[in-house]
Amino acid sequence: MAEFVSVHSSGGQATIRLDRPPVNALSIALQGELLDAASRVSADPDIRAVVIYGGEKVFAAGADVKEMAHRNYAEMAAISRRLHASFGAVAAIGMPVVAAITGFALGGGLELALCADFRVAGENARFGVPEILLGVIPGLGGTQRLPRLIGPARAKNLIYTGRFVDAEEALRIGLVDQVVPDADVYRAATTLAGQFVSGPALALRAAKEAIDTGLEVERLHFAALFATEDQKLGMESFVASGPGHAKFAGK
């Protein structure tokens, strides 16, 4: 039974919940459980959208530095492969994923949030990749996903300085998509995720993979979707009634 990560689902939506007090430090064990949770969610045909949540006080304040401080190169080379696999599994969840961010999302915590498709933040949330202050660099996707999201220059500013940004700045630079009162973060995230639950599941999966992977994948998925029931329902509804009226079957 998982100790630090749980999955709860209802009405086609799942929540992956981090629970390692006091700050959800991303230990090796937690990341292993995260990999299992992401794999379970991905394989469940009844789940159409996912929220990642760290609780009311903090999303995740980074990797567990105490576990890493005295590791050597050979050890970290092996460990880093496993850690990348856990975050990769979250990024590869084939449905819309929303990160619900309260408190700190720092280092690996921010890198985990970057694996989601959307980020909803509380007014008092703080973000940063302070690894440079420890003599290293972001190692769980931050040097790749952060520039893609906010642009290379802004990403370099955050990575080179290790500074924190508040929710207002995070919204302004595109690091988060929505800022709400702290008490409303989880509700706002589930509302955002909920709009996709009744959508065309296969098309959403294809769109996500195409955006994240490239043009050839886009072409292949576009053609392949003409073998789905949702494509027939969507286009027949458009011809009959115009856009926005289709009731998709998820097949």
Q: Mind listing the pLDDT tens digit for each residue in 92-137?
A: 999 999 999 999 999 999 999 999 999 999 999 999 999 998 888 8
Q: In whole angstroms, what is the distance from residue 18 CA to residue 6 CA? A: 7
Phi, psi of 76 (to 5 degrees): -70, -30
The residues with which 10 forms a beta bridge, in sequence order, are 13
Mean pLDDT, range 204-213, rounded to an integer: 91
Q: Name the 3-class secondary structure at 29.
A: helix
6, 19 contact by CB (below 8 A) = yes
- What does the pLDDT read at residue 19? 97
- Give the sheet arrangement for strand 126-128, strand by strand: 104-106, 126-128, 165-166
Q: Which residue has the tokens 């029931």?
A: 229
Say if residue 62 is exposed, middle or buried (CB neighbours under 10 Å; 0-12, 13-18, 19+): buried
Q: Which of 3, 56, 111, 209 is catalytic?
A: 111
Q: Name the 3-class secondary structure at 167.
A: helix
Task: Give yes or no for residue 216 having a pLDDT over 80.
Answer: no
Confidence class for position 8, pLDDT limits 50, 70, 90: very high
Residues 135-144 as b or e (16 or more Cβ within 10 Å = b): eeebbbbbbe
- What does the pLDDT read at residue 64? 81
The verdict on whether 216 is a catalytic residue reads: no
Helix, strand and coil in the chain, % to nearest 5: 50, 15, 35
Give the torsion sign (CA, 159, 161, 164, 166): negative
Percent of all residues in the chain with a pLDDT value above 90, rounded to a whole number? 69
Q: Which of 131, 209, 216, 236 is catalytic?
A: 131
Mean pLDDT, range 209-234, rounded to an integer: 81
Q: Please give the residue that has the higher pLDDT: either 227 or 18.
A: 18
Among 95-99, 206-210, 223-227, the least confident range: 223-227
48, 95 contact by CB (below 8 A) = yes
Q: What is the β-pairing status of strands 13-18 and 5-10?
A: antiparallel
Percent of all residues in the chain with a pLDDT value above 70, rounded to a whole number? 99
Task: Give yes or no for residue 58 having a pLDDT over 80.
Answer: yes
* Residue ranges of the chain that CATH labels 3.90.226.10: 5-194
The verdict on whether 131 is a catalytic residue reads: yes
Q: Mind listing the pLDDT tens digit for each residue in 10-57?
A: 999 999 999 999 999 999 999 999 999 999 999 999 999 999 999 999
Task: Give yes or no for residue 218 having a pLDDT over 80.
Answer: no
- What does the pLDDT read at residue 76? 81
Q: Name the 3-class secondary structure at 75.
A: helix
Confidence class for position 233, pLDDT limits 50, 70, 90: confident
Mean pLDDT, range 239-249, rounded to an integer: 85
Q: What is the β-pairing status of strands 13-18 and 49-53?
A: parallel
- What does the pLDDT read at residue 213? 84
Task: Give yes or no for residue 177 having a pLDDT over 90.
Answer: yes
Confidence class for position 75, pLDDT limits 50, 70, 90: confident
Terminal alpha carbon distance of the chain: 33
**Mean pLDDT score of the chain, rounded to an integer?**
92
Topology adopted by domain 5-194: 2-enoyl-CoA Hydratase; Chain A, domain 1 (3.90.226)
**Read out DSSP for 32-85?**
HHHHHHHHHHHH-TT--EEEEE--SS-SB--B-HHHHTT--HHHHHHHHHHHHH
